Structure 1
Amino acid sequence: MVLLVYVDDILLASNDATTISDFTSFLNSKFCLKGLGPTKFFLGLEVARSKQGLSLSQRKYTLEILQDTGFLAAKPAHFPMDSNLKLSRDNGSLLEDPTSYRRLIGRLLYLTITRPDITYSVQVLSQFMSSPRQPHLDAAHRILRYLKSASGQGLFYPVVCDLQLKGFCDSDWVGCIDSQRSTTGYCTFLGDSLILWKSKKQSTISRSSVEAEYRSMASTSCEIIWLLSLLRDFAVPHSQPALLLCDSTAALHIAANPVFHERTIHIELDCHFIREHIQNGVIRTMHVTSHHQLRDVFTKALGCALFTFLISKMNFLNIHSS
């Protein structure tokens, strides 16, 4: 049984109904609780069940954002950010009242819990919270128009799943025009279910695209190791190696090559970390073509066609669509 507590909200999960009933009775003997039955709504997350699986979305929360910002009747957009858009901390006029921008980005950050498709765009805009400018606000409004096109879209977790853990990692070398730092992006699947994703600017400057890719591989490997330990805690067997997919053949060669040279000495710790888990059979690296690199959604702004194609591979579901 798993017990999740957030302030005064409690969520119980178990494969034994008797266990939940006994534990609920014990809690009722100590505290004054109100049981709401099977989970349908929890901290803004809407849960829908069927014989095929479970769906998570934040439709009500999304509609509240659109209504509060006046975008409920706006013209929808088909993707969250223009691929040709280059945002900087110095271009454009400063906003007279930055509070509304900060509040909007904060609400969008919480929305990324079930909307990985806007993770990269929100991550970029969150870098300008201290002194937002008009282009940043315009880009945030573009995200709102994209949300208008599918407010009920969320993640779907099917009942039948092979429980194979696989992670896609990627990087956008020198993606930030202000700091020249690269962007790390990864997403992890359990079978066909997307369970973890991230888009983050790297903490140091990478001197080559291979170094940026390898740092992304190291970050994804850390998350995979953590997920494997979490599966063990949940008594979920995972005997086969977890797959780590990358589109950089150079980074894959470094992971497989035990010889260090001057080009990789500055990322030696990452090399040792990844190679150790490969040799122990915990992780197995694989090459994936750039066209099928799902992690591109989390590292760069994409055009409509490629964005729609990659999003279709992530098991999204809009239960409110016709």
Structure 2
Amino acid sequence: MRIPLGLLGYTSSQSCKLKKSLYGLKQSNRQWYEKLSILLLTCGYSHAHADHSLFIKAHNSEFTALIVYVDDIVLIGNSLAEIERIKHILHTNFHIKDLGKLKYFLGIEVAHSHKGISLCQRKYCLDLLKDSGMLGCKPSSTPMDSSLRLHNDSSGFLDDPLSYRRLVGRLVYLTSTRPDIAFATQQLSQFMSKPTKPHHATVVRVLRYLKGCPGKGLFFPRTCSGHLLGFSDVDWATCIDSRCFITGYCFFIGNSLVSWKTKKQTIVSCSSSEAEYRALASATCELLWLSYLLRDLRIPLLKTPVLYYDNHNALHITVNPVFHERTKHLDIDCHLVCEKSQAGLMLLLLAPYSNQLADIFTKVLPPQSFNTNLSKLQLQNIFAPPACGGLIEETYNPSLNAT
């Protein structure tokens, strides 16, 4: 081992004794990424502008992409010769293990069929239920009670808050393929410091919901229209403790759900219009990032991206951005949305309240509304028998009813 640069008091004839390997240390990820990046750049790959963990190489009609997460790599492309070449180079330098066709990646199960690709975390979900002792529990139809509003209270603190934190932490990772529990997990994540018995009861309710559908996940049909659609919504002053508002959005490419988010903002909005516009600005940033990512992946957008929302006041502000007493606190957000809309980078359209798919990310819905919205998010359970809701032939088109 060479003496590190800047280490004083040692001569060149001396060496350091290695007591611990680099793997597992905090700096190991950075060093590994730096070495891998240098190798890929010398092989003709380049960083994607939208995501620096994505490396792309395009030559004429050939395209190859390589996504990296620490020491796990997924390789895709339309040139088998280039894929074999880069695999040989990686094996020569790092002695990689080729696992073949993608079936399992970071706890996510990948299933291929002639209809499309399914992503789920069934094994992860079953392990979560088993470790928490909920494998034999009675299933629930929804992840949260629609009449319940979680808040900070001083009654009934848990004797073991670590178990609550572990459960919520595992639920956070499960939202990678389960947008149906995203809002419930966001609500539970607010009480990690001092969880109470009602909070723990809600975690149990989420686990009971997962028991009824552990194999549910995202489905991406092979036929895609290439149209980017987004839905933005807000629940104003919903937090009992702080009166902050919750924003949520979801984006589709064709019929495939590719991005979603639910977040409680750190500020208090003076009006519902202001809250709606701040949510619209957040969704606009995500829409732009997805557009840049699709451009890096050489996927053309056949139509102008569309962003749906259900607030008439926000529409009036977009068309006539006059800053008066009602909008003086959101001029930056207003400028961002107006600029991108007027530049033709996206279309802003009103969606009826009944077709606002982002509702599931901003509030607790009653069972009927929850199941209706959930059926439109293209979540399917490939492990269910055909008679109980396996892969369906007809798919929901988000652009049909949201006009």
Both proteins in one fold, TM over 0.5: yes
Percent identity for Structure 1 against Structure 2: 50
Q: How does 1:63-142 map onto structure 2 within 5 Å?
A: 63-90=126-153, 92-142=155-205
* One-letter code aligned to 1:115: R
Q: How does 1:103-252 map onto structure 2 within 5 Å?
A: 103-238=166-301, 240-252=303-315
* One-letter code aligned to 1:14: G
Where 1:314 maps in the other structure, the secondary structure is coil
CA offsets per residue over residues 81-137 of structure 1, 9 Å max, x none?
011101111153100110000000000000000000000000000000000000000
Residue equivalent to 1:313: 376
Where 2:376 maps in the other structure, the secondary structure is helix
* One-letter code aligned to 1:231: L
Where 2:223 maps in the other structure, the secondary structure is coil
Q: Which protein, 1 or 2, shows the higher relative CO under an 8 Å CA cutoff with sep ≥ 6?
A: 1
Where 2:335 maps in the other structure, the secondary structure is helix
CA offsets per residue over residues 267-321 of structure 1, 9 Å max, x none?
1111110000111100110010111100010000111100000000011110100
Does structure 1 retain, via aligned residues, the 8 Å contact 2:227–2:302?
no
Residue equivalent to 2:113: 50
Where 2:220 maps in the other structure, the secondary structure is strand
Rounded Cα–Cα distance in structure 2 between residues aligned with 1:274 and 1:127: 29
- Cα RMSD of the aligned pairs, angstroms, is 0.9
CA offsets per residue over residues 224-250 of structure 1, 9 Å max, x none?
011111111111112532101001111
TM-score (norm 2): 0.79
Rounded Cα–Cα distance in structure 2 between residues aligned with 1:13 and 1:89: 47
Does structure 2 retain, via aligned residues, the 8 Å contact 1:82–1:301?
yes
Rounded Cα–Cα distance in structure 1 between residues aligned with 2:371 and 2:155: 30
Rounded Cα–Cα distance in structure 2 between residues aligned with 1:7 and 1:201: 30
Rounded Cα–Cα distance in structure 1 between residues aligned with 2:148 and 2:293: 39
Greater than 3 Å deviation, 4+ residue runs? none
Give 2:332's match in structure 1, choosing from 265, 269, 277: 269
Deviation at 1:18, TM superposition (A): 2.1
1:278 pairs with 2:362: no
Residue equivalent to 2:3: none
Does structure 2 retain, via aligned residues, the 8 Å contact 1:94–1:132?
yes
Rounded Cα–Cα distance in structure 2 between residues aligned with 1:255 and 1:16: 45
Label 1:213 to 1:122 Cα distance change in 2 as closer, same or farther (>3 A): same
Does structure 1 retain, via aligned residues, the 8 Å contact 2:226–2:302?
no
* One-letter code aligned to 1:185: G
* One-letter code aligned to 1:133: T
Rounded Cα–Cα distance in structure 2 between residues aligned with 1:149 and 1:17: 41
The size of the alignment, in residue pairs, is 322
Where 1:286 maps in the other structure, the secondary structure is strand
Does structure 2 retain, via aligned residues, the 8 Å contact 1:92–1:135?
no
Residue equivalent to 1:253: 316
Deviates more, 1:42-51 or 1:257-266: 257-266
Residue equivalent to 1:2: 65
Rounded Cα–Cα distance in structure 2 between residues aligned with 1:147 and 1:97: 23
Rounded Cα–Cα distance in structure 2 between residues aligned with 1:41 and 1:2: 18
Rounded Cα–Cα distance in structure 1 between residues aligned with 2:213 and 2:245: 30
Deviation at 1:11, TM superposition (A): 1.2
Rounded Cα–Cα distance in structure 1 between residues aligned with 2:160 and 2:91: 48
Give 2:81's match in structure 1, choosing from 13, 18, 21: 18
Label 1:178 to 1:295 Cα distance change in 2 as closer, same or farther (>3 A): same
Rounded Cα–Cα distance in structure 1 between residues aligned with 2:158 and 2:107: 30
Does structure 1 retain, via aligned residues, the 8 Å contact 2:248–2:263?
yes
Unaligned segments of structure 2, at least 5 residues:
1-63, 386-403
